[in-house]
Structure 1
Amino acid sequence: MVRRTLLSFALSFVALPALADLVVLQYHHVSDSTPSSTSTSVSLFDAQMDMIADLKLEVVPLQAGTEQALARAEADGGNDEPNQLAITFDDAYDSVYATAAPILSSMDYPYTVFVNTEAVGRHGYMTWEQLAELEQRDGVTIANHSADHGHLARKPGETAEQWNSRIDRSLDAAQATLAEKLGTEAPLFAYPYGEFDAALEAKLAERDWYGYGQQSGPIGESSSATRLPRFPMANAYGQLNGLPDKLQSKAFPVSAEELPDGVMTNNPPVLTFALPSSMKASRLTCFASGQGRIDINVEDGEVRVQAPDA
């Protein structure tokens, strides 16, 4: 079994040039009665939406916001616009239809629902009729979350032929079902469990799809179209005391092309990047999951970070 290490960076951005990045929020259930680890309580969801309004941040459709954020890499210099936001839901749970959708409609906020198509109509999930109703509303996008919500990275012992067949079926069957049932073929894909590797990213690139994970951070000029970050907003991660920093954070100014693969072959991995001229090494902090704060080494303008343990 491949073990993964999460590295979390914090950067004070006061001295950096302002960029209008895209912050994507990720939800599952919006409910007081579903598992807390994947749920946002109704009162917290309400308060989060109110905070977005109070901060006067623009909520935009996911695809348009993503394309605009990535296109800023081609612009000359930064701009000082505030962040844009996009709201997403994974799995098409029925609480999204019953609870979240009316709140978002009242605030005129667009949003995207990622659907694992084989679960539609099961207990706790939306029906095709409900999804069709949502899809007809202004600002609502229904998109692909695979057919079966399986672990899509190649499994130990799985041949390349077996993996290719399994992945092509899961990606394309779901897209075909969404087109048949709802008439929608949005080029947007949310990785089940937030898991991806280079081979899976290549599958999305072949299809010209955007790929969204569950790693935290905003989308900006340094992001890659097939490994786009989102901030999980379940109860443990979406509390109001830390939410303003997430909503107004800036993309880490390191190209996604320089980051390790999503599935680690060397654990713990080494992260290296050139220190941007706008950034001081003294303002970097790094944490590894379960290991607390870890050391950052800087030599000749290159930053090197490695967790002490896997």
Structure 2
Amino acid sequence: MVKTTTRFVCGLLFISVAIGARADLVVLQYHHVSDATPPATSTSVSLFEEQLEMIERLELDVVDLQKGTEAALGGELDGSKQVAITFDDAYDSVYTAAAPMLEDRGYPYTVFVNTDAVGGRGYMSWDQLKELESKASVTIANHSHDHGHLAKRPDESQSGWEQRVESSLDQAQSILKEKLGTDVPMFAYPYGEFDAGLEEKLAEREWIGFGQQSGAVGETSGITRLPRFPMANAYGQLNSLKNKLLSKALPVDASTLPAGIVTDNPPTLELTLPDHISVNRLTCFASGQGRIDVNPSGPGIVRVRAPDAFNSRRFRYNCTHPTDDGSYYWLSQQWLDLSKPED
């Protein structure tokens, strides 16, 4: 069964228009759904069940990822509160534990596959993926061939990087088409890492790109750097899940945000806010450092900078602002320090 683009959202790298406090699309990101896999990337079976129950209680529409994303970017949700469910890496627990629970509820979902791992220990087989893909509610999409770190390395030549990246992107897409008959224009960055050059590679292919930074997808979101809320045990607990499920994209034009490659540590994030966002009600946090200062820098412009340097390869600034309906605008800026070793 071939799934192709119904319409690529204007064919643009970024889309930005002014919006009000309407509903946006919330995308959830999972890896393992298991009680026996690494805690950092696992959601327990009981927590996954409770998360699905909360989605049902809140009467949220669980939608196809591509259609929901295109509608959110195009401003066509019309107040509908929508959620999309995704899994990275095609672990076998998705097939054995998550899929039956989702099918019982009739919820669609997307599995992003790193093709070189298929059939390996702990991963789904091609037969299992083919079985899932045959269902109208399931989409199989590209997560690279080798799950490599795809941002350009500091000591890597431009030609070497292009050859490495294009091989991983296109080989995976070709294998998915050959094995499953699917050619979906969506990509999830391994480790959530991307740079401007990698975004350009996706834009050339007219692919929609998803990271691992938190937040909702709205009209001002960047089509090659879309956020997803990680749902592993540490991040998917019910006491904070409702705010995430009902969140909206902070209406900041994604084309004004940095690609996220760290040149100064700690980095500075500058945001240009619309009139209905109050600087005094904007709250920002840095990974491992808690709440950080938000400093006005001009009319509607603020600068955010953590007080201390970061030691990790990946970290984030998360900013929220209350909406008029009791939910939150949300923006997460992903940072990538290429001087730190790959993991």
The reply to whether TM is greater than 0.5 is: yes
Within a 5 Å distance, the mapping from 1:188-199 to structure 2 comes to: 188-199=186-197
Say which of 266, 269, 275 aligns to 2:267.
269
Structure 1 position 308 matched with structure 2 position 311: no
CA distance in 1, matches of 2:258, 2:88: 25
CA distance in 2, matches of 1:48, 1:177: 33
Cross-structure match for 2:327: none
Cross-structure match for 2:40: 37
| Matched-pair identity in % | 65
5+ unaligned residues in a row in structure 2: which ranges? 1-18, 310-343
Cross-structure match for 2:67: 64
* Superposition misfits of 4+ residues, deviation over 3 angstroms: none
Structure 1 position 49 matched with structure 2 position 52: yes
Amino acid at match of 1:60: V
Alpha-carbon contact 1:92-1:126 (below 8 Å) kept: yes
Deviation at 1:269, TM superposition (A): 2.1
Within a 5 Å distance, the mapping from 1:109-148 to structure 2 comes to: 109-148=107-146
CA distance in 2, matches of 1:262, 1:297: 20
Cross-structure match for 2:177: 179
Instruction: Deviation per CA, 1:77-101: give whole Å up to 9, x if none.
Output: x95x242110000000000000100
Alpha-carbon contact 1:26-1:232 (below 8 Å) kept: yes
Alpha-carbon contact 1:29-1:96 (below 8 Å) kept: yes
CA distance in 2, matches of 1:117, 1:85: 26
Amino acid at match of 1:281: V
Instruction: Deviation per CA, 1:205-235: give whole Å up to 9, x if none.
Output: 0000000000000000110110000000000
Amino acid at match of 1:226: T
Amino acid at match of 1:188: M
Cross-structure match for 2:282: 284
Alpha-carbon contact 1:144-1:175 (below 8 Å) kept: yes
Alpha-carbon contact 2:275-2:300 (below 8 Å) kept: no
Instruction: Deviation per CA, 1:162-214: give whole Å up to 9, x if none.
Output: 10000010000000000000000000100000000000000000000000000
Cross-structure match for 1:106: 104
Cross-structure match for 1:11: none
Instruction: Deviation per CA, 1:42-91: give whole Å up to 9, x if none.
Output: 0000010011011000000000000000001xx7xx95x24211000000
Alpha-carbon contact 1:82-1:248 (below 8 Å) kept: no
Q: Secondary structure at the match of 1:147?
A: coil
Alpha-carbon contact 2:212-2:230 (below 8 Å) kept: yes
Cross-structure match for 1:96: 94
Amino acid at match of 1:51: M
Deviation at 1:275, TM superposition (A): 2.6
Structure 1 position 220 matched with structure 2 position 218: yes
Deviation at 1:286, TM superposition (A): 1.1
Q: Secondary structure at the match of 1:241?
A: helix
Cross-structure match for 1:8: none
Alpha-carbon contact 1:112-1:141 (below 8 Å) kept: yes
Alpha-carbon contact 1:21-1:219 (below 8 Å) kept: yes
Cross-structure match for 1:159: 157
CA distance in 2, matches of 1:183, 1:46: 31
Tell me the TM-score normalized by structure 2. Answer: 0.82
Alpha-carbon contact 1:195-1:262 (below 8 Å) kept: no
Q: Secondary structure at the match of 1:242?
A: helix
Alpha-carbon contact 2:30-2:42 (below 8 Å) kept: yes
CA distance in 2, matches of 1:26, 1:181: 24
Amino acid at match of 1:309: D
Deviation at 1:309, TM superposition (A): 2.3
Number of equivalenced pairs: 290
